[in-house]
Amino acid sequence: MLYDEFAEIALGYLNQVCAAARRLTREPADADDLVQETYHLAFEHYGELRNLAHCRAWLYRILHHRAASRLRRRRCAPQLLSIDGENGDESLPPAHFDAELIERIALREIRSIIDALPVELRTAVTLCDVDGFSYAEIAEILECPLGTVRSRIARARAKLMVKLQAHAEECGIRRMSA
């Protein structure tokens, strides 16, 4: 694979990688640093990428790896994430969630509800729903088992249902037809 060819494709994903970094760090300056670090590593090790078709997932994998390292350094702890209830029953959705109410909630409110999810759930669900990665690709990016990805995405959506329903009730949001 030619360096120029790789560089052109990798830079084509810059906006997406920046958006993913922003979701991880929540700070524009930190996100830019993380993206620089990611691309520097990618440029140095581009020869390790066997298939250019996997370039985007490979960049995300580096990004998440670097983000995890940074977080570990800051926390001085051996684990990146505290997984609360990884195998618990909290993936059950609320029985009374009304999907039509979502359309009446402002996007910025939905965004802040997503931001409030535990980082491991937020990361998995946004890699799936925003970036469009498959479960297998997410497992590779996050370096975790496929079952963990399945569980995190299900739990993230169940939690979002609970929070969105609660938000709609708090704000008195009702169906148009009601």
Partner 1 sequence: MSSCPKFEQLNELVDGACDTSVRRHFDRCPACKREVRRLLAVKVAVGMADAGVFSSPALRRALVARLRR
The residues, any chain, with a CB within 8 Å of residue 47's CB and separated by 6 or more, are 1
- DSSP run (H or E) holding 142: helix 135-142
| Interaction between residue 148 and partner 1 (CB under 8 A) | no
The token pair that represents 53 in the structure block: 């078709």
| Interaction between residue 30 and partner 1 (CB under 8 A) | no
Q: Decide: helix, strand or coil at residue 173.
A: coil
Total residues binding partner 1 (CB under 8 A): 45
Is the CB of residue 115 less than 8 Å from the CB of residue 153? no
Euclidean distance between CA atoms 151 and 172, whole angstroms: 31
| Interaction between residue 9 and partner 1 (CB under 8 A) | no
- Closer CB to partner 1, 53 or 106, in the complex: 106
| Interaction between residue 130 and partner 1 (CB under 8 A) | yes
Is the CB of residue 35 less than 8 Å from the CB of residue 62? no
State the CB neighbour count (10 A cutoff) for residue 50.
Answer: 9
134 alpha carbon, distance to own chain's centre: 12
The residues, any chain, with a CB within 8 Å of residue 89's CB and separated by 6 or more, are none
Q: Which stretch in 58-66, 73-81, 150-158, 169-177 sits in contact with partner 1 by CB under 8 A?
A: 150-158
Identified binder of partner 1 from the candidate list 91, 142, 148, 167, rule CB under 8 A: 91
| Interaction between residue 57 and partner 1 (CB under 8 A) | no
| Interaction between residue 11 and partner 1 (CB under 8 A) | yes
Q: Which stretch in 13-21, 52-60, 64-72, 167-175 sits in contact with partner 1 by CB under 8 A?
A: 13-21
| Interaction between residue 27 and partner 1 (CB under 8 A) | no
- Which residues form the interface with partner 1 (CB under 8 A)? 7, 11, 14-15, 17-19, 22-23, 32, 35-36, 39-40, 43, 91-93, 97, 99-100, 102-103, 105, 107-108, 110-111, 114, 125-126, 128-130, 134-135, 150-151, 153-154, 157-158, 160-161, 164
